[in-house]
Amino acid sequence: MRKLVGTFVFAATLVAAPGIGVAHGGGPSGGSSGSSGSGMVTSEGAMRNREEAAKIAYNSAVRTIKNAKDYDSDAAKAATPEKSAKAHEKAQKYYHEAVTKLIDVVGLDPKMYQAWNYLGFANRHLGNYEDALSSYAKALELNPAYADAIEYRGEAYLGLNKIDEAKDAYMTLFRDSRPLADELMVAMHQWADARRKDAQGVPPTDVEAFAKWMDERTALAAQTASLATGAPPIWR
């Protein structure tokens, strides 16, 4: 729930914040060094209205994704396959709903990189990996340092069995956002376990080579963590 909690804080801020690009001068009836006529005021007012509508729609989409994740959690903990399948079906319904809402959001405010990121998130959970990658690419075009999108994109690469791209994502996060690198590493291990059961066209040698790479990176992460805390590293 780490990302959702952070996004709810952001969403609440958006609702409370004034619109982006508010006129620098006074309102329609006030003197303003930046306004030259009613056309400018009308244009700025329309822009603010679109931005406010985008913020409201974004908040709604985040709540929908939270519902989807809650049902995903229920599916994982379900006592029977039937209950798990029912919860999974409900989660998928909410992800579909979130996609629809987020498409509206980015239509209203194409520069809201958080919305592009969550559009990728919802599509990824629906198995629409190429669409997810396109959305993550847009989020990172708008904010190249947005670590959440880098981690999410790494998981989408895994969904498409693009191991090298997932490695690159991990290395970027290892340098810039260690907790997210650890999160992606968990997803990588889950991917390897899944491909051992169902290769989906991935050669077993590639899976095991990837697993070896993960073991090496995990050992290095433990060593660097020991150095950071002042504890003596464990050399093997």
pLDDT in tens, 20-40: 332 333 333 344 444 455 555
Model pLDDT, residue 228: 61
Q: Provide the 8-state DSSP code for 105.
A: H
CB 189 within 8 A of CB 163: no
Q: Provide the 8-state DSSP code for 232.
A: P
Would you say how long the chain is, in residues? 236
Model pLDDT, residue 7: 45
Tally: H helices and E strands in the chain: 9, 0
Distance (Å, rounded) from C-alpha 64 to C-alpha 25? 38
Distance (Å, rounded) from C-alpha 7 to C-alpha 202? 35
Q: Classify domain 1-12+46-143 by CATH number.
A: 1.25.40.10
223: confidence class by pLDDT, cuts 50, 70, 90:
confident
Model pLDDT, residue 25: 34
Tokens at residue 192, please?
């390897």
Q: Tell me what the pLDDT averaged over the chain comes to.
A: 84
Which residues in the chain are classed under CATH 1.25.40.10? Answer: 1-12+46-143
Query: Residue 78 pLDDT more than 70?
Result: yes
Query: Residue 183 pLDDT more than 50?
Result: yes
pTM score: 0.77
> Exposure of 104 by Cβ count < 10 A (0-12 exposed, 13-18 middle, 19+ buried)?
middle
Closest CA to 44 of 20, 77, 78, 13: 20
* Average pLDDT, integer, range 106-119: 97
